[in-house]
A and B are shown apart, each in its own frame.
Chain A
Amino acid sequence: SAVISQKPSRDICQRGTSLTIQCQVDSQVTMMFWYRQQPGQSLTLIATANQGSEATYESGFVIDKFPISRPNLTFSTLTVSNMSPEDSSIYLCSVKAGGPQETQYFGPGTRLLVL
């Protein structure tokens, strides 16, 4: 398994500003994922972040809005840029771990409210 922490756990931001969310894993992992969970909704994959390469974004998500860094095998950041109230969501970091089991584990999430 993998233990994942995220910072901040929650934040309230003004529209037009940016917020960077940090994700730290207790072991080295190749793949890290960022998901968004809008209020009362399911999880949607934003992007996949591999160390040493550009993140791969899913349809509907762009790098200018959600830039991602992956400086090493245990850490990643997601920035939500130029925020609007529609960005109010829970943002979850996830990693694939466990060798052949290939299970995805999730962080506790960052709850973001944009006013």
Chain B
Amino acid sequence: AQTVTQSQPEMSVQEAETVTLSCTYDTSESDYYLFWYKQPPSRQMILVIRQEAYKQQNATENRFSVNFQKAAKSFSLKISDSQLGDAAMYFCAYRSLGGGADGLTFGKGTHLIIQP
């Protein structure tokens, strides 16, 4: 079974600064998807960014980018120019590609605090 590890229970960053959230995973599969989800206090899960394992290029969505290191099984999220609205729980998630196991495996989450 796959596992996802987020080693930082909480991170704090000054507004407008850059922060990196860490995620590692364990799998024997070669093809899969990785995701970062944001869960603000409203509890709504919001997709931040997605990475396909077969793509070497790191995904980018505006201020959000990932550093995907497939050999190291590492998938970190970088948030540039942090804003107060970025404050939330961030979950890293893994999904197998096919084979019927389409649910997501989540890490325990990182609570991101934005200091004004």
Q: Interface on A for B, CB 8 Å cutoff? A: 31, 33, 35, 41-45, 48, 56, 58, 90, 92, 94, 96, 101-106, 108-109, 111
Contacts and interface: CB of A to CB of B under 8 A. Distances in A.
Contacts of A103: 35, 47, 50
Given A33-B103, A48-B103, A58-B103, A41 B108 contact: yes
B106 A42 contact: yes
Please indicate which of the listed interface residues A41, A43, A90, A102 has the most CB atoms of chain B within 10 Å of its own CB: A43
Contact of A42 (B35, B44, B103, B109): B109
A43 B95 contact: no
A96 B102 contact: yes
Interface residues of B, number: 20
B102 A111 contact: no
Interface string B44-81: 11010010000000000000000000000000000000
20 contacts: A33-B103, A35-B104, A41-B108, A42-B91, A42-B109, A43-B45, A43-B91, A45-B103, A45-B104, A90-B43, A94-B45, A103-B35, A103-B47, A104-B35, A104-B104, A105-B47, A106-B44, A106-B45, A109-B45, A111-B43
Contacts of B106: 42-44
A13 B103 CA distance: 28
Contacts of A104: 35, 47, 95, 104
A55 to B, nearest CB: 12
A102 B43 contact: no
Given A101-B50, A102-B33, A43 B104 contact: yes
